[in-house]
Amino acid sequence: MTTDSPMTDEAVREAGVEVKPVAGHIGAEISGVDLASHLDDTVVAAIRAAVLRWKVVFFRGQRLDHTGHVTFARRFGEPVVLPRRGKASPPGFPEIETTADRLELGGRFGMEHDEWLRRRRHTLLRGWHCDHGARVDPPAATILRAETVPPYGGDTTWSNLAAAYAGLSAPLREFADGLRAEHRLGVGYQPRPGDDAYVRHLLDRQVATLHPLVRVHPETGERVLYVNGYYVEQIAGLSRPESGAILDLLLEQAVRPEYTVRFRWEPGSVAFWDNRATMHLAPGDTAHLDHPRIMHRVMLAGDVPVGVDGRASEPITGTAPGRW
């Protein structure tokens, strides 16, 4: 996702777009826009500016179909085409992944969905993640559309990692600026005793990258606390106990309530977030409900993160820029 220049609040209003913040540090609802229609450049610029400022923006009552979803996403960047998708994802639209596919994953590896979810979230912080954070070039942004949602439950929560970094004490910011951490696919998963088919699956498809612990946002210039609970394994150069203690401290900082926003989905809702400056927590309160939750996402191609010292992330295994 790229932008030419930031827009002022007045310019946003003149574009006919209303941006209403919903929390102190993150999140805004945008009204006055029909995402299924042709959007002129001023409206696209206003939405882009809101995403950069508020990190995640929400639209309600939209009538997007798959074609409209992809068309809208292309106004902000190049959609990612995943090499593998589940059976629920729509044929003919390789840019779209249907998150109902996640309901199938546990069964593929011999687990009920509730056990699958429990093993992915065996600590309070493990469920927090950015999309495809183990890649050397994680997506720049994600656009998620709700088709069918339960009448209650199923909320998603996001955290502003730039605000979390700014909220650290100056000595801790300076310390974190010089660190790098290994992000690896599946380290947030707690294996089953004995043979575990999912662990074998992960080992066959391993992806890992050494990312800066603090990245510089390529558009806003903000410093971002680049942590998440699901992918980060260890801080390079530190012992396991040291790394674990510091990561826990930083993750707890990142998910402090004042840096988060929680969104209640409705059919036709759309969330558009900056995957470079946020992490999010998918809902864990719907597995026992007899209601479907069908969501569709498009991710926009991202760049390789760069740290405060100007050094870029380094691939370790299974990842290369632009190759999915």
What gap in Å lies between CA 213 and CA 313, rounded to an integer? 10
227 neighbors 251 (Cβ within 8 angstroms): yes
* Annotated catalytic residue 41: no
Catalytic residue among 145, 280, 293, 296: 280
Alpha-carbon dihedral 171, 174, 176, 177, rounded to 10 degrees = 170
What gap in Å lies between CA 62 and CA 85, rounded to an integer? 25
Q: Buried b vs exposed e over 291-318: b needs ≥16 C-beta within 10 Å?
A: eebebbbbbbbbbbbbbbeeebbebbeb
Q: Chain-centre distance of CA 61, in angstroms?
A: 22
Catalytic residue among 69, 145, 276, 297: 297
* Annotated catalytic residue 201: no
Catalytic residue among 48, 66, 129, 296: 129
> What is the amino acid identity at position 128?
W
Q: Chain-centre distance of CA 308, in angstroms?
A: 22
Q: What is the DSSP string of 75-86?
A: TTSPBP--S---
Q: Which of 162, 305, 300, 163 minimizes the C-alpha distance to 231?
A: 305
42 neighbors 12 (Cβ within 8 angstroms): no
Catalytic residue among 131, 137, 274, 303: 131
* Annotated catalytic residue 129: yes
* Annotated catalytic residue 297: yes
Show which residues are catalytic: 129, 131, 280, 297
